[in-house]
């Protein structure tokens, strides 16, 4: 993977890693981490078991927010009239990946957990990858950056996370 790689986590991986008290694993590969504005809004707009932990981690690590038209439109329409609310995070991530497609020398890694995304027909620019939380954890284990991918999954599940059973890419 290119040295100028940026990790773009979706809501699911953030929640799972927060349950496992393992958000710092996003920093392990040494890539920059950016968060799409709509995704941050999705995981922090309501108080949940992980919302404050995620917001604090983003703040404490100076994670750069990627501004999107999707979030801007959502915030404007939220004031005037009810807006479409489903899949807005994914639409915002798609917009961010499209921007990566126009950037020279950058690689974007979209980290997801939702089974709908695994099957979604995202247009992935040549310099973007789509990787599941489970595959990311296995990558970290194979690189010697964590002891056990299964251990992180287990910790999240024991803390109350209903972790996706999807395997992407499929075995």
Question: Domain locations in the chain?
Answer: 5-158
CATH class of 5-158: alpha beta
Q: Which two tokens stand for residue 27?
A: 């920093």
Q: Is 14 exposed, middle or buried (0-12, 13-18, 19+ CB in 10 A)?
A: buried
Residue 112's H or E segment, with its range, is: strand 107-112
Distance CA 3, CA 141 (A): 19
**Per-residue confidence of the chain (171 residues) as pLDDT tens digits?**
446 899 999 999 999 999 999 999 999 999 999 999 999 999 999 999 999 999 999 999 999 999 999 999 888 875 555 555 667 888 888 888 888 888 778 889 999 886 555 555 667 788 888 898 999 999 999 999 999 999 999 999 999 998 766 555 555
């Amino acid at each position: 993977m290119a040295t100028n790689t940026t990790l773009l986590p979706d809501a699911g991986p953030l929640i799972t890693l927060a349950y496992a008290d393992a958000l710092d694993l996003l920093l392990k590969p040494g890539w920059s981490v950016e968060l799409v504005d709509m995704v941050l809004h999705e995981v922090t707009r309501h108080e949940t078991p992980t919302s404050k932990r995620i917001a604090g981690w983003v703040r404490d690590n100076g994670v750069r927010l990627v501004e999107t038209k999707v979030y801007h439109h959502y915030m404007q329409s939220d004031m005037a009239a009810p807006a479409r609310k489903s899949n807005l995070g994914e639409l915002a991530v798609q917009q961010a990946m499209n921007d990566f497609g126009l950037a020279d020398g950058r690689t974007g890694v979209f980290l997801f957990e939702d089974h709908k995304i695994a099957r979604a027909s995202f247009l992935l620019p040549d310099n973007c990858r789509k990787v599941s939380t489970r595959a990311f954890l296995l990558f970290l284990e194979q690189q010697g950056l964590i002891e056990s991918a299964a251990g992180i999954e287990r910790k999240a599940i024991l803390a109350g996370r209903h972790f996706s059973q999807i395997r992407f890419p499929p075995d």
